[in-house]
């Protein structure tokens, strides 16, 4: 009983609730995300360009990552070059640090790795300009959040990704929210190249914003990256090679035969349905909630994803 | 190389850096958390009352939880009553929902559970007053954070726990940051009793603040709760009983023989060293960071814990 009800409520909180626009409707419980999404229009969903979608195959399933070339175009291009050369096939998840990141790449680049076995980057570049921020471009979607942000002057969503901006400097950037994929690098700002990637698996480490290039976002398969045993070596690296999760392959979806392509759609962050979800998150009222927060933080809402046709929806 | 340097940097970000007080010192790299903690004084560390410490034994290790009786005294008392009666022994982790919570309790209370097998609460109360907030008490420590908070008028730390307050209402409350342990309940505000507990394993679900009682915080062993495979049933419940993690036992540390007691200490959140850690988090400068955030969010900093003597330190 207790659990059943707590389940029901968390079904709502794991997703979102909608705020009826009129005070007269306040007595109705807020509809669930599922209900709001069911009412959404087809045009409110964006189908990512298959040139921007990576499919990473792991022993227990597949992960779909959307690249963010509007923010990190050179990194997207370099990652595509590596993926087309099958650079990641046979590499591994080498690190899982609790409440921080899961990281994958070439095990030979570990501190104790055999550097003579480092995989060649092939035609990919070994260094890239930082791309930590970009000039604000009015042509890019910007959906501002109304409740402020601890770390940035303004927070919101751009092209489906959590982002922040500073009109004083004229810059905008993607933010380190749960599921965002960043580019590991050396101390030098040009030392990242996309061959080592990490994904945020805990509380958003926003201090990393503007210090690392963000390559994109995991659209599907986060549990395959977040639910791994934590590495017991320094910084969450696995002590023993056998603890690593092997990467079977990474492919650009554009390279796959049509029949193998996941049909993934992302709710447009400039859509009325996304606005309703945000509003619902802020002004929740139902049998469970005693008080609504009245607020929503940037990393407190995940942009809905749906997969159609060949595989069942994950969200 | 790339990884080695990224490791070194994340060693800092996984922990914290200190800000030299003088501009003249800005050329020195910020010391690491490890360095700052090494300089801390013994009096800056608090040894939790063993009456407030729970030791949960799982197949892969043990979890130490500190109860928060200053905020949820009736829940602490009820949980102690259940623990003394060995209520949790043989129960299980029944749910792991990605980017949300890990939950444990009586599997018989599942939707499909056999209600005739529900374990008796014994002398523990089946309902409790909510204890979602409490009146602000000037006798309780309050260390305010300087950078604001999206969800509350004021955020900070009280008695070692992340907390928020509203001087307008005169209330303060613990917040749903990573590692905080909450009390599952039914729709009614008095339906929680502590027999079903959850811990935050993802981005802080701050919308739950003031809607659920927070019983305490995991001081040690988070990876045993966060690194579990996500449940594939609705809301992250495990579909199959075999997927659950059995709870071998939960004991009050005060009940254990001295030789079996973990010697856990928590950095005082009103200490100079904690202030230095906060300052470092805000104004980081070193070879890796190109910009410091200048800010720190409530759930962006974990209060340091150390374990002495009989078992190796986890932090």
Task: Express each pLDDT in A283-301 by its tens digit.
Answer: 988 888 889 999 999 999 9
Q: Measure the CA–CA gap between A197 and A31, rounded to whole angstroms.
A: 37
The A61-67 sheet, strands edge to edge: A245-246, A92-96, A101-105, A197-200, A180-183, A214-220, A61-67, A53-58, A249-252
Residue B141: name the closest of B117, B122, B109, B165 by CA: B165
CB-based burial label for B173 (10 Å; 0-12, 13-18, 19+): buried
Task: Summarize the confidence of residues A163-175 as an average pLDDT.
Answer: 98
**What was the pLDDT predicted at B22?**
41
Is the four-CA dihedral A91, A94, A96, A102 of positive or negative sign? negative
**What was the pLDDT predicted at A175?**
98
Question: Which candidate in B1, B2, B298, B304 is best for mutational testing of the A interface (most A CBs within 10 A)?
Answer: B2
Answer whether A196 touches B (CB < 8 Å). Answer: yes
Residue B277: name the closest of A63, A199, A152, A207 by CA: A207
Give the side-chain half-sphere CA count within 13 A for B304: 27
Work out the minimum CA distance from B192 to partner chain A, whole angstroms. Answer: 8
| A169 CB-near residues (< 8 Å, 6+ apart) | A133
pTM: 0.91
More confident residue, B36 or A13: B36
Task: Express as a percent the part of chain A with pLDDT over 70.
Answer: 89
Residues of chain B contacting residue A283, judged by C-beta atoms under 8 Å apart: none
Q: What is the mean pLDDT of chain B?
A: 89
**What was the pLDDT predicted at A121?**
97
**What was the pLDDT predicted at A27?**
66
Helix, strand or coil, per DSSP, at residue B108: helix
The per-residue pLDDT for range A202-222, each reduced to its tens digit, is: 999 999 999 999 999 999 999
Residue A12: name the closest of A27, A33, A43 by CA: A33
**What was the pLDDT predicted at B219?**
98
Task: Summarize the confidence of residues B114-120 as an average pLDDT.
Answer: 88
Helix, strand or coil, per DSSP, at residue A222: helix
Confidence at A182, pLDDT banded by 50, 70, 90 = very high
Task: Summarize the confidence of residues B142-151 as an average pLDDT.
Answer: 97
Q: Measure the CA–CA gap between B161 and B180, rounded to whole angstroms.
A: 9
B-facing residues of A in 150-179 (CB < 8 A) are 150-151, 177-179
Task: Summarize the confidence of residues B303-309 as an average pLDDT.
Answer: 86
Confidence at A309, pLDDT banded by 50, 70, 90 = low
Work out the minimum CA distance from A110 to partner chain B, whole angstroms. Answer: 6
Task: Summarize the confidence of residues B52-76 as an average pLDDT.
Answer: 98
Any idea which of A10-14, B92-96, B294-298 has the lowest mean pLDDT? A10-14
Q: Is the pLDDT of residue A279 over 50?
A: yes
Any idea which of A14-23, A268-277, B66-75, B263-272 has the lowest mean pLDDT? A14-23
Question: Which candidate in B75, B117, B145, B150 is best for mutational testing of the A interface (most A CBs within 10 A)?
Answer: B150
Task: Summarize the confidence of residues B270-291 as an average pLDDT.
Answer: 93
**What was the pLDDT predicted at A10?**
37
**What was the pLDDT predicted at A19?**
33
The per-residue pLDDT for range A94-125, each reduced to its tens digit, is: 999 999 999 999 999 876 777 888 999 999 99
Neighbours of A60 (CB within 10 A): 12
A-facing residues of B in 3-22 (CB < 8 A) are 3-7, 9-11, 13-14
Q: Is the pLDDT of residue B29 over 90?
A: no
| A200 CB-near residues (< 8 Å, 6+ apart) | A100, A101, A176, A177, A178, A179, A180, A182
Confidence at B11, pLDDT banded by 50, 70, 90 = very low
Q: Is A150–B206 a contact, with Cβ atoms under 8 angstroms apart? A: no
Chain A's closest residue to B179, CA to CA, is: A99
Q: Measure the CA–CA gap between B291 and A206, rounded to whole angstroms.
A: 12
**What was the pLDDT predicted at A132?**
97
Q: Is the pLDDT of residue A8 over 80?
A: no
3-state secondary structure A66-118: EECCCCCHHHHHHHHHHHHCCCCCCCEEEEECCCCEEEEECHHHCCCCCHHHC
Say which DSSP state A173 is in.
Answer: E
Residues across chain B: 315
The A263-267 sheet, strands edge to edge: A45-46, A263-267, A305-308
Any idea which of A190-194, B9-13, B26-30, B91-95 has the lowest mean pLDDT? B9-13
Confidence at B4, pLDDT banded by 50, 70, 90 = very low
Task: Summarize the confidence of residues A140-145 as an average pLDDT.
Answer: 97
More confident residue, B314 or A200: A200
Question: Which candidate in B1, B5, B6 is best for mutational testing of the A interface (most A CBs within 10 A)?
Answer: B6
Encoded tokens for A19? 């705020």
The per-residue pLDDT for range B218-269, each reduced to its tens digit, is: 999 999 999 999 999 999 999 999 999 999 999 999 999 999 999 899 999 9
**What was the pLDDT predicted at A152?**
98
Answer whether A108 touches B (CB < 8 Å). Answer: no
**What was the pLDDT predicted at B27?**
66
Q: Measure the CA–CA gap between A200 and A214, rounded to whole angstroms.
A: 11
């Amino acid at each position: 009983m207790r659990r059943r009800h707590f389940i029901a409520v968390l079904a709502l909180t794991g997703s979102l609730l909608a705020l009826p626009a009129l005070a007269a409707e306040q007595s109705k419980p807020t509809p669930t995300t599922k209900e709001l999404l069911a009412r959404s229009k087809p045009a409110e969903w964006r189908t990512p360009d298959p040139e921007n979608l990576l499919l990473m195959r792991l022993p227990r399933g597949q992960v779909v990552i959307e690249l963010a070339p509007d923010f990190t175009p050179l990194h997207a291009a370099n990652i595509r070059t590596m993926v087309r050369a099958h650079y990641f096939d046979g590499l591994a998840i080498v690190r899982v640090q609790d409440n921080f990141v899961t990281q994958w790449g070439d095990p030979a680049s570990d501190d104790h790795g055999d550097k003579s076995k480092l995989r060649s980057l092939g035609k990919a570049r070994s260094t890239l300009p930082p791309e930590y921020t970009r000039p604000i471009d009015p042509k890019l979607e910007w959906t501002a959040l109304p409740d402020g942000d601890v770390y940035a002057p303004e927070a919101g969503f751009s092209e489906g990704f959590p982002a922040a901006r500073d009109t004083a400097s004229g810059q905008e950037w993607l933010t380190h929210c749960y599921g965002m994929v960043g580019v590991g690098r050396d101390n030098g700002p040009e030392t990242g190249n996309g061959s080592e990637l990490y994904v945020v698996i805990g509380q958003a480490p926003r201090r990393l914003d503007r210090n690392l290039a963000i390559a994109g976002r995991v659209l599907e398969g986060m549990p395959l990256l977040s639910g791994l045993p934590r590495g017991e070596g320094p910084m969450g690296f696995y002590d023993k090679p056998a603890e690593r999760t092997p990467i079977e392959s990474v492919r650009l979806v554009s390279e796959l035969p049509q029949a193998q392509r996941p049909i993934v759609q992302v709710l447009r962050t400039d859509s009325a349905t996304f606005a309703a979800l945000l509003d619902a998150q802020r002004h929740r009222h139902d049998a469970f909630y005693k008080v609504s927060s009245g607020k929503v933080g940037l990393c407190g809402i995940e942009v809905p994803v749906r997969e159609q046709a060949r595989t069942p929806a994950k969200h």
